[in-house]
Amino acid sequence: MTGRTGGVLPGGLAEAIRGTAEDIADVLRSQGAGGGVSVPRSTWTVGEAAAHLAQANALMADLAAGRERPYGDGTPGSLAEANERALAGFAEREPGPLAEMITAQALAFLDAVEEREETELLTTPLGRMGPAVLGSYLLTHMLGHGYDLARALGRPHMLDAHRVELSMPFMMQAMPGVTDPDAVAGLTASFAVRLRGGSGFGVAIADGRVRVDEEPPKRPDCTILTEPVTFLLLALGRIDPWPAIARGRALGWGRKPWLAPRFPTLFRAP
């Protein structure tokens, strides 16, 4: 497996996938034997989180090869159940072997995805996606769990503004499907979300539904400006809004600025 860079994935995405997998592997190799360290904000240990990543990367490689793999029904609860079932049937928990699996399956994904057509739609646990969005999905998933592993083991994490920007195609497509129905019930609001130094998008909420637009609205109820890494960590439920706001890493203003800290709670990370 070469993990070659071709023309199906947008510029920089293949390199980010390969680099993130290697960064995660380096974090795991630093642990040596034993994966029993607890992961913050999780019920998993390092060994379990790494095993999940190895399995997920293999799943993504299969999806990129056009092989359908049933895995829950797309809701956060069903995906969590599928994760636990998969972990129960997979015995490896040692960081070293899992590091090799994570990188090997990331390379397998890159090889497989370059055989797809740019307009081809592939079946995933979160709906049909083109190859570029599927690559963004893989990167986002590795960044979230890679952050968890780095934090658990006291190592620098591998998130940066460039990698977060490459995660945005998946984030924007996935947001409507991971809306928390209780959180958006009765809410009508429009948001302009901007990453500091990067892209922006719009979110409109009405009648319990969420619509994501590539361009922010001109007159939103609330504008949110965040540092890119902070945005992804908030979106994935890894940090809480108020500390980020207190440190100036996330700002909100507009007709309804009080909606800014509420925004991340409208979604349930799968």
The answer to whether the predicted template modeling score (pTM) of the entire model surpasses 0.75 is yes
Q: Which CATH number is correct for 13-175, 3.40.190.10, 1.20.120.450, 1.10.1060.10, 2.40.110.10?
A: 1.20.120.450
Local confidence band at 6 (pLDDT 50, 70, 90 cut-offs):
low
Going from the C-alpha of 245 to that of each of 79, 218, 240, 253, 262, the distances in angstroms are: 30, 23, 9, 12, 12
Q: Are strands 222-226 and 189-195 parallel, antiparallel or unpaired?
A: parallel
What are the start and end residues of each CATH 3.30.1050.10 domain in the chain? Answer: 179-266
Reduced to 3 states, what is the DSSP secondary structure of residue 138? Answer: helix
What is Dmax (Cα atoms) for the chain? 55
What tokens appear for 172 in the block?
């924007």
User: Which one of 3.40.50.300, 3.20.20.10, 3.30.1050.10, 3.40.190.10 gives the CATH number of domain 179-266?
Assistant: 3.30.1050.10
Share of the chain above pLDDT 70, in %: 97
Average pLDDT over every residue of 146-165: 97
Kindly list the distances between the CA atom of residue 72 and the CA atoms of 58, 59, 77, 84, 143, in Å, as whole numbers in the listed order: 16, 13, 8, 11, 21
Does position 250 have pLDDT exceeding 90, yes or no? yes
Summarize pLDDT for 209-237 with one digit per residue, the tens. 999 999 999 999 999 999 999 999 999 99
Radius of gyration of the chain measured on its C-alpha atoms: 18
Q: What interhelical angle do 13-29 and 46-64 show, nearest 10? A: 150
Q: Give the per-residue pLDDT at 3.
A: 55
